[in-house]
Structure formats: structure tokens, C-alpha cells
Chains A and B, each alone.
Chain A
Amino acid sequence: DVKVTQSSRYLVKRTGEKVFLECVQDMDHENMFWYRQDPGLGLRLIYFSYDVKMKEKGDIPEGYSVSREKKERFSLILESASTNQTSMYLCASSLSPWPYEQYFGPGTRLTVT
């Protein structure tokens, strides 16, 4: 079975802190994605990566950056956390190019106070 893991289920950070969210997949998938999930808005794509060291902006990249140094690991970075970044963050991975499904991690509930 494909397994996508995220470093934390719950995280509480203070405004202005630098925050790292880690995602690891064990199925050698080329593509990895970071979404945020907010009530009434569904999932929105922040960034995605189609190869090591490659990244593309999604629909809401402002305030975020990403890093993919190894194929299995995709990190989301909040350079200076703000309260409006309080959300559920979901990581996903998929084979390339298609039509393979995306496999999701369990999510990280981030609260910025």
C-alpha cells in the first residue's frame, strides 16, 4: 500500500515563526502536492513538485515556499507564520503522468496564534 506520512497531526505556532511541514511518501512517486483545506473552500493547491528540486506554484502560493531535495520528501515552509495561515494542510503524491490517483497524507492541523 502507498503510504504518505506527515510529520505532525497537530501543530501550534506563534505569529512570525518559521514553520516546516514535512511530507514523506514511500512509493517512488514523481509528483507531490501541498494543499490547504478550509471549511467551505475545499482543498486549494499551494505548491506542487514534479521532480526533485522542481517546483511549481499552485493557486495560493503567497506566504509559502517548498523544498524537494529528495524524491520521497516534500516540505512546505511558512517563512513567517500569520494567523490567516491557520488551516489543515494536506500532502499528496501521485505517479506521473496520469491518470493515477493522488494519495493523501493524514493532514496537519496548524494553528497560528
Chain B
Amino acid sequence: AQTVTQSQPEMSVQEAETVTLSCTYDTSESDYYLFWYKQPPSRQMILVIRQEAYKQQNATENRFSVNFQKAAKSFSLKISDSQLGDAAMYFCAYRSADAGGTSYGKLTFGQGTILTVHP
């Protein structure tokens, strides 16, 4: 079974600065997907960014980028030019590619990291 570990329960950053959230995972599979989800205080979880394991290039979405290290099984999220609206709980999640299998897109989540943004 896959496991996802977020070792930072809480992080803080000054507005306009850069912060990196860590995530490691354990799997024996070679093909999979990784995600970062954001859960603001309003609680609606939304997707921030996704990475396909077979792609070496790190995914980027505006101010959000990842550092995907497949051999090290590491998937960190970098938020540049942090804004007050970035304050949220962030979850790292793993999904098996499982072509034709029975995973049906199940996600395995980490414990979450609470990000505080200071003005």
C-alpha cells in the first residue's frame, strides 16, 4: 500500500516571500500521479497542481511549482510571491495510474500542512 507523509504540520511565510511545503511518499509502482490540494478555511478542497510520474519536467501553475524527485520519492510544493489568500491547509496526494485496474482514481492523502501567511 502507498503512504504519503507531510512532515511539517505548520508553516508560515511573510507576504510576497517564497515557501516550500514538503511531501514524501512510498510506493512500489513506477507509474502514478501526485497532487497538491488546498483547503482554505471555507473548507472547499481545490486542486492546486498535479504531476505525472513519467514526466521529468516539474509542473508549474502560475505562482505554484513542484520539485518532483522520483528516485527520492519526494514531491515538494513551492509557492512564490505568497499572498494572504494562500493561507490554507495543503494536502499532498498520491494516485496510482493502475491502467485497467481497480483503483478507480483513489487518492491517498498526507496529513496536511497548515500554511499561515503574515502581512
- Known A-B contacts A50-B104, A56-B104; the reply to A101 vs B110 at CB < 8 A is no
Complex contact A99–B50 (CB within 8 A): yes
Q: Measured between alpha carbons, how far is A40 from B104 in the docked complex, in Å?
A: 26
| Cβ contacts under 8 Å, A101 to chain B | 35, 47, 50
Q: Measured between alpha carbons, how far is A97 from B105 in the docked complex, in Å?
A: 7
Q: Distance (Å) between the CB of A101 and the closest chain B CB?
A: 4
Interface residue from B35, B42, B102, B109 paired with A42 (Cβ < 8 Å):
B109
Bin the interface of chain A by size.
20 to 34
In chain B, what residue has the closest Cβ to A38?
B111
Interface residue from A48, A50, A92, A98 paired with B95 (Cβ < 8 Å):
A98
For chain B, the count of residues having a C-beta within 8 Å of the partner chain is 28
Complex contact B45–A94 (CB within 8 A): no
Complex contact B106–A99 (CB within 8 A): no
Q: Measured between alpha carbons, how far is A100 from B1 in the docked complex, in Å?
A: 21
Complex contact A106–B42 (CB within 8 A): yes
Which residues, 49 to 82 on B, are CB-close (under 8 Å) to A?
50, 52
Asked if A58 is at the interface of the complex by the 8 Å CB criterion, the answer is yes
| Cβ contacts under 8 Å, A100 to chain B | 105
Which residues, 94 to 113 on A, are CB-close (under 8 Å) to B?
94, 96-102, 104-107
| Cβ contacts under 8 Å, B35 to chain A | 101
Q: Which of B6, B33, B45, B102 has the most CB of A within 10 A?
A: B45
- Can you give 27 contacting A-B residue pairs, CB < 8 Å? A31-B105, A33-B106, A33-B107, A40-B111, A42-B109, A42-B112, A43-B91, A43-B107, A43-B109, A45-B108, A48-B106, A50-B104, A56-B102, A88-B43, A90-B45, A96-B104, A98-B33, A98-B97, A99-B33, A99-B50, A99-B95, A99-B97, A100-B105, A102-B105, A104-B46, A107-B43, A107-B44
